[in-house]
Amino acid sequence: MEKQKRLVVVSNRLPIVVGQQEEAWEIAPGSGGLVTALAPILKSRNGLWIGWPGCGEEAPLDELFARFSQEHNYRLHPVPLTETEVEKYYLGFSNETLWPLFHDLLGHCHFSQENWLAYDEVNRRFAEGILQVATEDDLIWVQDYQLALVGAHLRQMGVRQSLAYFLHIPFPSPDLLRRLPWKIELLRALLEYDLIGFQTLRDRRNFTNGVLAFLPGAEVLSRQRHYTLIKWKNRVIKTGHFPISIDFDQFDADARSTEVADAAWYLHEKFQDHQLILGIDRLDYTKGIPERFLAFERALQKYPALHKNLSLLQVVVPSRTLVPEYQTLKEELDGLAGRINGHFAEPGWTPIHYQFRSLDRVQLLAYYRTSEMALITPLRDGMNLVAKEYCACSVDHDGVLILSEFAGAADQLGKEALLVNPYDIEETADAIYRAFTMEPEERRRRMHRLRAQIRRNDVHRWARSFLAENKIQRAPPL
Ligand code: G6P
């Protein structure tokens, strides 16, 4: 049997949280879906994760990483970033150019040559970091929009082995991509990978159409249900779509734990007179939170039966607060929540419970488990794992999911969720009322199917199916 290659995962952030408790430094695994999916594979393949530690130089990283690798059976390798690099590569090009453009929000884009150059330079440094620790037998898997150029830099440094890349956010249509001054460089760089994974078929098609529109000489060799083969400069590149997911069984089991059940019961007691509709998002203008507040306000205007019977519980997790756009959004949300509550609140009933902070896992799962409905309405989203987590934690099978048609998750959950266009305030308001009045039997039927779908297509399947595609060796030059 062929020996499995060692896996080297490369992402902008390392999957860890480094912090200080009193005097002592601590390191813990991060909580994201990617860590859950990849940690078991990294462990079994004696793997390696390369990325930015996200903390300053004062942390004793060598010692912390050694402790981490002993406990978790895979190693970490840091690519440190200077303050200027964080500003221009991370906050600047990644989050003020690619992020809004790829989420169809051109109005939020800032185009700067200086930031592009910093992005290119930091991607080169990531490639150097990989070369310091990886060998030619490793399977190198680069993650997400912050690192699109890493593969091209590796090639320039002489790397010949198969390289894989997964984009966690949407890929824009050619019309939008056309606006990016560095689109040609970006597309050429992406085509240096051998396998490129997207979240949805639409993203995969957008990419192929972008390549055909802007790179004369590129050709589609074959278009299959699960993949497309593109020919470019004597090489064949495979693209596919692999919808990312969650560890369903883990969420399901944790949501049934005594700790979560107690916390859920406490919440239920607090809100016993009315139902809860839940929103949980990172602070981000792509998440459609102001539009959601307006839709909730509209529902209260239109349907008096909701008064004193339904509250929106909106948790906003602080994120990228150094980007001005995110600060403005925070102010907008504060204003809207204040206005709506000021207008509708009555003794014993607050229409919007708005929390700007992170939640610990028990609290998060208790919110999922208790809330009768979830209102997940991003303007655009690569996937949206909150939607899947909510269903996995709806262990009594009676939650209703209202979901934006522009979330990648709608491709899989769209039949049983109530789909809405988040820009359509009227439609979203009506969906809230429909969910509120939905009969228990219909709720259960829909939730049962949603859970079955997510259980079947969990994050382990995602990682397995992507890595299985990469088994094909780097295609020889034609
Ligand atoms: C999205 C991106 C990830 C990113 C995460 C958190 O999910 O696809 O690459 O890590 O947001 O954002 P942050 O900028 O804090 O890493």
pLDDT at 473 over 70: no
Domain identity same for 203 and 326:
no
Pocket test for ligand 1, best of 9, 10, 12, 17 (most atoms within 8 A of CB): 12
Residues 134-162, mean pLDDT to the nearest whole number = 97
Domain identity same for 213 and 260:
no
For 330-378, how does the pLDDT look when each residue is reduced to its tens digit (9 = 90+)?
Answer: 999 999 999 999 999 999 999 999 999 999 999 999 999 999 999 999 9
pLDDT at 41 over 90: no
Domain identity same for 258 and 207:
no
Domain identity same for 220 and 254:
no
For 428-442, how does the pLDDT look when each residue is reduced to its tens digit (9 = 90+)?
Answer: 999 999 999 999 999
Residues 325-329: contacts with CB under 8 Å, at least 24 apart: 325/96, 325/108, 325/285, 326/283, 326/284, 326/285, 329/283, 329/284, 329/285, 329/289, 329/290
Domain identity same for 296 and 209:
no
Identity of the amino acid at 307: H
The answer to the question of residue 475 being in a domain is no
On average, the pLDDT of the chain sits at 94
Active site includes 168?
yes
Domain identity same for 348 and 408:
yes
pLDDT at 474 over 60: no
Pocket test for ligand 1, best of 9, 150, 282 (most atoms within 8 A of CB): 282
Active site includes 460?
no
The answer to the question of residue 2 being in a domain is no
How many Å lie between the centroid of ligand 1 and the Cα of residue 352? 27
Residue 316: domain span = 248-456
Catalytic site residue from 72, 77, 153, 168? 168
The answer, yes or no, to whether ipTM is higher than 0.95 is yes
Question: CA end-to-end span of the chain, whole Å?
Answer: 28
pLDDT of residue 58: 83
For 196-224, how does the pLDDT look when each residue is reduced to its tens digit (9 = 90+)?
Answer: 999 999 999 999 999 999 999 999 999 99
For 70-84, how does the pLDDT look when each residue is reduced to its tens digit (9 = 90+)?
Answer: 999 999 999 999 999
Domain identity same for 314 and 230:
no
The string of DSSP codes covering 204-229 is: HHHHHHHHHHH-TT-EEEEE-SSEEE
| Contact present, 189 and 161 (Cβ < 8 Å) | no
How many Å lie between the centroid of ligand 1 and the Cα of residue 383? 12
Q: 273 pLDDT band (50/70/90 cuts)?
A: confident
pLDDT at 414 over 60: yes
Q: How many domains does the chain have?
A: 2
Domain identity same for 62 and 170:
yes
Domain identity same for 451 and 465:
no
